[in-house]
Every structure is written in C-alpha cells, then in structure tokens.
Amino acid sequence: MAYKIPLESDHIYHIYNRGIDSCTIFYEERNYKLFLETYAKYASPAMDTLAYCLLGNHFHFLVRIKSEEERTQLREKPSPKGKYITLNPSRQLGHLFNTYANTINKTYKRTGSLFEEAFERKKVDSNIYLTTLIDYIHKNPVKHGFTKDFRDYPHSSYQSHLSEKNTNLDRKMVVEWFGGKSELQKFHSQEQDYDKIKDLIIEFD
C-alpha cells in the first residue's frame, strides 16, 4: 500500500474515495442522505466541512482538520486510558466508510468491500487556490455527466452555502472567503482554469 500523508490539525485537505473497482456506492436517493448522516456522526467531530459533492461511484470533500483541542472529548465509556479521547481524523473516516458499507451490504444483500482500501487526500497548502478548488468540487457533476447545470445537482454543498437553513457545513467560513454569497455565485458563474490546481485535484477516470 502506498504511503498516505497524515491528516494534520488546522490544515485543509481535498479528500476523495470511490467504490472498489469503481462500483456504485449510492444506489438510490436515500443512500445520499444516509451517507451524509453517517458522515455527520463520525467525521464532523474531527473536521469542518467546506465543500462536498457525492456522485454515483465516488465523492469529494474539502475539509479543515480541527485542532487537537477541538477533537478532544469525553469518552462514552470509562477507560483506564483516561477520561478523554482525542479523535483521530483518519480513523473517524474509517468508521464512516465501514458503517456506511455495512449498511449498504445488508440492505442490498452484497458482500465484500465497498470502498477503495485507502482514501486519497491532498493537502491544500496554498490559500490562493482554495476558491478554485471549491468551484471544481461543485462543478464535478457536470464533468461526469450527471447534470448540465451544477446548480441543479442536489448532492453537493453549493446550494447549502446559499441557503439560510441549518447545515453541518462551515458556511460562514466559505461565504466570507468568497466575500459574500453574491461573490460566491459570481465566481461559480465564470469558467475557471483548473490546470492551476491540478496538484490539488484527485480524480480517477
């Protein structure tokens, strides 16, 4: 297995995973909701979510790993190891994948692995490209032929950033980063040069 860089506190990462052998991971509409609910339970306590897009056989997330202090919480059960536990971001994502896969396998009477063995990740170490990467993630459904207009796609974070409804997204951070909701919309309405963020893009054909 190739070495994967660790997820460091207070850093932003583009995270990607897909079905094993590119198999489907979202069979029907309710699966998308289930995945986000499972994500909220296991991943959100360890990371803030800036953007996401769920597609038929893969997904993209842009996350900020919380500080060690933010990831430290009371243990659910008493332990000789101590009263508190510091959540490991990679392990929390592993819990997400395993829990979701077990539910899908049980529901659709399938067996074996659902996801690739290890999720891909790229550290976003240049803030200048953050806006373009968010745009890229939101427009991924167009790239893969799911829709002609990314604004109509229901399984990305784009509309959630423009909404006033409660969300698990770090909406405030993203909207302020763009300079307001109107600027976020304006940026997404323009064609972007994705070549400049090619080192941050994770995609398998």
User: Is the confidence at residue 48, as pLDDT, over 80?
Assistant: yes
Helix (H), strand (E) at residue 91: helix 89-107
pLDDT at site 77: 74
> If 0-12 CB within 10 Å is exposed, 13-18 middle and 19+ buried, where does residue 44 land?
middle
Domain residue limits, the chain: 12-197
Q: Which amino acid is at 201?
A: I
Per residue in 131-169, pLDDT (tens digit) is 999 999 999 999 999 999 999 999 999 999 999 999 999
> If 0-12 CB within 10 Å is exposed, 13-18 middle and 19+ buried, where does residue 118 land?
middle
CATH fold of 12-197 reads Alpha-Beta Plaits (3.30.70)
Token pair recorded at residue 179: 């300079």
In 3D, which of 14, 8, 181 has the Cα closest to residue 88? 8
Residue 118 confidence class, pLDDT cut points 50, 70, 90: confident
Token pair recorded at residue 87: 């959540």
pLDDT at site 80: 72
User: If you average pLDDT over residues 85-108, what whole number do you get?
Assistant: 96
Q: Can you name the residues that pair with 12 across neighbouring β-strands?
A: 64, 124
In 3D, which of 26, 83, 13 has the Cα closest to residue 55? 26
Strands 84-86 and 72-74: antiparallel
